[in-house]
Amino acid sequence: MANKRFNKQVPGYGYKSGGQVNKSIVNRLEELGRVDAERGRSRKGIKNLRDEKKRIVRELMGSRKVKGRTKYR
């Protein structure tokens, strides 16, 4: 008989089933990585990327509770 503790096909043993992931935060982090990797080719493009990065970081920090505060400002 196979070892039930490590058999993933036996219910109640092995890995637990996946739960919910906060997809909005994951999407913001992916967007932040895209902005970091993108290169501004002009002064205006560099400024736009900088502003976009600030917007994404603000949205990420606004969704977290830190030390009793409801939002970062």
- In degrees rounded to 5, what are phi and psi of residue 35? -65, -40
pLDDT digits (tens, 9 = 90+) for 9-62: 656 555 555 666 678 888 899 999 999 999 999 999 999 999 999 999 988 888
Measured between alpha carbons, how far is 44 from 52 in angstroms, rounded to an integer? 12
61 Cβ neighbours under 8 A, 6+ residues apart: 71, 72
pTM reported for the whole predicted model? 0.58
